[in-house]
Amino acid sequence: MRLVLASNNAKKLAELKALFDALPLDIVTQGSLGVAEAEEPHHTFIENALAKARHAAQAIGGAAIADDSGLCVDALGGLPGVASAHFASVELPAAEREVQRSVQDAANNALLLQRLQGATDRRAKFVSTLVALRSADDPEPLVAVGRWQGEIIEAPRGAGGFGYDPLMFIPALASSVAELDAATKNAHSHRALAAAQMVALMRSAWHLG
């Protein structure tokens, strides 16, 4: 079964392919099919994920999955939340998408550290909300949510991952997310937790696997 990922993020595609490898799915990005990204005007992960999944499903006339995820920091009232990817206002260079993403990530991390300067409560969580649809008109969207608890450290650690991974420290693993190898991250992450729920839902509701 082909499942279109409502994203053009190559790293997110690689993560989801690994997490869904137990199911007979061919996951491809919407960009590879010429589908433009959807608007994300909502204030919650679930609303944005549903909007993205429906947009992709409508465009390709088939099944789609969307992940809306981000970092929620307790001391900031849940921010950056749905604005995680564009937390900082930054002028991006005229370069390929991954270079732009790297510049944005660095700016986001710098702003987060600035906003938390002097804060004693540095608790945070990565949240991933997955929504899957068989079609744009599917009345029964599958919804799965994963939360990965940690805390924001005062300086980046590690060279792996993307986004806020270098600043998110997981006490149970004694490492920042950026210091984890791919296998460990895929076993413990917010996206892994949501994906495990989604695999179970697809098996029961879509009769896959």
**Measured in whole angstroms, how far is the alpha carbon of residue 130 from the centre of its chain?**
9
CB 150, CB 172: distance < 8 Å: no
CB 126, CB 69: distance < 8 Å: yes
* Tokens coding 20: 């869904």
- 3-state secondary structure at position 90: coil
Which residues are tagged catalytic? 68
* Tokens coding 28: 């491809």
* Tokens coding 207: 């009769």
* Tokens coding 175: 């490492």
Burial class (CB in 10 A: 0-12, 13-18, 19+), 34: exposed
